[in-house]
Structure 1
């Protein structure tokens, strides 16, 4: 989802989704109103946001980089100068076992805008005026831009390319999208969940949001839990919760007869950890020392059962096949690297030295995060599940 925004006020919102959603405009208007009220009264792009009782909400961007939301906003505001900036929000994940909370349940009731083949025309834009406690601002025009669910279009510049009508392929940097983004304008990229929390934080205060959390972490997070648990699904839980706590308190425990064996803490590229490391807080900086990251917060639970035993090496192979299919093919390290990795992972005994060299080449030379993060599951299996690959 990409939101075109003037320095003083939001101009238009380009929603990038796989399907139309009935409450999309209503929900977006709620959040954009808060963003506009927060930044709208600033007379100059070189000034700080206007006085607000909670000027620094502890909100980090979702995904790999997790840059504080207001820090990113400040970069775009300066880059915009006297022109118009753009805010970008990723809505579709394009990844199995992953979903964002605003797109689930009653909040976002999926309703196709048009039925039949070739429904690529967006519905009419909506427009209105914001009043009440948030001041008087013209609400943004909201237009639906449908994508095909490509995983690569979760990368900020690839999504921009897709919205502009081009093939979804990452751009080379510099310039960065905060300087030259959608339609050549400075662009701020966020996950939908980041935007989802803005108004709640501004209305209830940073202290309210910071009051949630465990293990010295602050805030709330949505975890998309799947695998061998009794009650899989999207669960709103405190930031810093451990996977063992998440399974027992929010998912009803493991399925009958299944013993917790391993888990993926952050979706396809977030790595794989053994159950013995299930007490690590699920947050950004806590997982990085273990070659993992929270990413999309898609928690996939693997198990051992009398009739079937999940293996981390099988998960790594399936993930690498996924990356090979979803690679845009623009850069050789990712295009060829993922294919070579699949071939090596299919061997009964892994050539760990060759896999490490290949992984490092992909990390160092791939254009975007897909190729750079794709080797994470391989490295985790070599490090934590060596008994499976000898």
Structure 2
């Protein structure tokens, strides 16, 4: 039986800023973009969360909920430096580390002999080291399967830990609200509720083939999760699947010409990023994303075997056909990368 730990730093960016500037510790604090430039909140401290402030929220809306909110721009170089220190702590216990972002990672400690192999004690010691050496707090979930460990790490936040033993997995997933399962978004959740499915136990009792017919591949994944099945191992290497750039606009724009102007300014950045991972510019798809003034978004993608800026105006016209009079607040460009077995996987890093 595997021993998986999911470590999730508590309000990471905000916590680093509060550590480095004591004047920020006891006030509502958020890291994000300026309200004047249509910024969004990246993260916030727990004081701000009491007012309803959340990550991915528009800064302007966050300030309405919490007028005394202090919003500062993030320092990604500093956060990356701290995350490398966190990574160094992880490596004392295992080399099987799968970062999910700058502030969270899976660790497989099945072969770690410290603390007589107790994953619970290992997780607790990791949290102790982070707290004592870096002045930050982390929460952890411990389980024999990945997704259960990830869900568990959120249950006793902040600065907490939750353990699901092998014998407890079935009971845990039976009582688990479906929205807690990674990959179940608002739209999917609404469909599941329409089918009378609210908890893992409901899915366990539901017809597997009906789930497959309604949701396809995701239906099978959901069925497995609700039975405590997750065969995925902790992946220390990855093959990058896509490259993208996007820009949130200071003010809404309306016309195709305005959108094209913004897109043109993104081309150089897009080409630079793509050449780093695919020097020959070979791809499998090319796409555009628009987010409208009501925060609804649309994506248009076409199959494409070589990157071509001239493809984007066609994609833009198709996306704008869904505009319905709304302004455009964000434009994003993306490509899907050609996946070949000869491509060397890259070492997973906290810096992506």
Give the structure with the larger strand fraction.
2
TM-score computed with the length of structure 1 as normaliser = 0.27
